[in-house]
Structure formats: C-alpha cells, structure tokens
Amino acid sequence: MKTILLAGGFGTRLSEYTDIIPKPMIEIGGKPILWHIMNLYAQYNYKKFLVALGYKGEIIKKYFSENPTDWDINLVDTGQKTMTGGRVKRFKKLIGNETCMLTYGDGLSNINLNSLLRFHKGHGKMVTVSAVRPPARFGAIKLKGDQVTMFKEKSYLDEGWINGGFFVFEPSFFDLIDDDDTYLEREPLERAAEKGELFAFRHEGFWKCMDTKRDKDELENIYKEGAPWLKK
C-alpha cells in the first residue's frame, strides 16, 4: 500500500526555520519530522511513499539521496503554489485502483495504522479521517458571579474532535478534487461528508502537530522523554 505525504507547503508560521529549509525538514531529535512520520508508517510495514514536494523540495531530495533507507520513496514535484488537494490529485495515476494512505508532513502520533486501515475496510466507504482531541492550551474555570465554581488545568478540548491528519481513501476520492487550486480540507472532504462517504477513526492517544516554534520545542521535549510515536 502506498502513502502520500504532503510536504510542499511554505510553513510561514515557522519562518525562523522555513526561510532556510522546508517545514518537513525541521528536526526533532536530530532527524527531520518527515523522517519520523515515514518511520511511523514503516514500523507497520507500509514502506511505499509518494512525497508531494513544493517549496524548497530540492532540500528534501538531497536529504534522502544522502541518507538512504530501505523504503520505496518517490519524490514528486507538485508545484510551488499548488494547494493540498491539487497535490494529492497529482498522484491519481500512480495510485491506480488501490486503496491509499495519506498524511501531512508536520504531525506526529502513536496512531495504530493497522487499526486505522481495518476500520476503513470495515465501513467500506470512500474516506477515513483520523479524529483527535488535542489538549487545550489554557486551563479552564467556571464562574457563578465572581465565584469560581470549577478550576481545571489544561485538559482536552471540550469542543470535541478535529482532523488528526491521518487518512485512508479509495481512488474514487480523486474525482472529488477539482484542480491545483483545491484545498483538500474544503470541497473534497466536504463533498465526501455530504455523500455519506466520510468516516472518522477516533484516536485517543498521542497526537501533536508542529505549527509553531512552541510546538517544535514541545516535540523536542517529548522526544527526549521517550517519543511515543516510536514503537518500543
């Protein structure tokens, strides 16, 4: 089974790094976050990767040429300004009639990919998205007048579930993506949901997306304490 990795964005909120390197090449524990994500899949023996390159893609190419693995990696230029959906659609011919996995190049998790795939095959629909509940950044209080009736330190968001970024989809999903200007997270997934073809795999374990320097620093600390995305 092939896995598409989206690694072409500009990463503007991490400009202190991305002025020099693409976001997926920012290191956690001495290796690019992209390597950690691919290694997560490889731990479940999913070793065929289609990497969608864009901004500073040549740096990603150079890294893998100088750091060989036993993974089957196809690095594909998908354009500097192509949106996430457009990047995915570039792989339609390479995927053919196969079920495919998909993720972003900036998020880490200890998600069980075999369980994710079994869930997808079990419901038989077009797309599965991982659903996660990230920790809130701040503690919460409840007030009755000026009296605090409940104080709760940082916990999980009460609002519910968000897109965790680990997908499985059938090739028919490509037909819901219009062109290079299409955001994966807008029309394609909205259309799949409207058709009743989008199901959510709830992941209650570790998940962390690297959007800011604060996130990067937190992932570094988590790595030092024992990276939960690495199988023991």
**Which tokens go with 113?**
């990919």
129 falls in which pLDDT band (50, 70, 90)? very high
167 falls in which pLDDT band (50, 70, 90)? very high
Share of the chain above pLDDT 70, in %: 90
Per-residue DSSP letter, 213: H
pLDDT for the residue numbered 161: 86
Q: How do residues 74-126 score in pLDDT, each as one tens digit? A: 999 999 999 999 999 999 999 999 999 999 999 999 999 999 999 999 999 99
Q: Are 4 and 88 in contact (CB under 8 A)?
A: yes
Q: How do residues 171-202 score in pLDDT, each as one tens digit? A: 999 999 999 999 999 999 999 999 999 999 99
**CA–CA dist 212, 217 (Å, integer):** 9
CATH class of 2-226: alpha beta
pLDDT for the residue numbered 133: 85
Nearest to 44 by CA among 184, 168, 174, 204: 168
**CA–CA dist 148, 6 (Å, integer):** 45
pLDDT for the residue numbered 150: 65
Q: Taking 90 as the threshold, does the pLDDT of residue 36 lie above it? A: yes
189 Cβ contact partners less than 8 Å away, ≥ 6 residues apart: 127, 129, 198
Nearest to 103 by CA among 124, 130, 83: 130
**Which tokens go with 107?**
């998020």
Average pLDDT, the chain: 92
Per-residue DSSP letter, 156: B
Q: Are 103 and 166 in contact (CB under 8 A)?
A: yes
pLDDT for the residue numbered 143: 65
Q: To 5 degrees, how large is the angle CA 112–CA 117–CA 121?
A: 150
Give backbone dihedrals phi and psi of 10, rounded to 5 degrees, phi first.
Answer: -85, -25
Task: Tell which wins on pLDDT, 147 or 177.
Answer: 177
**Which tokens go with 90?**
């570039």
145 falls in which pLDDT band (50, 70, 90)? confident
Domain ranges of the chain: 2-226
Strands 48-53 and 198-202: unpaired
pTM for this predicted structure: 0.91
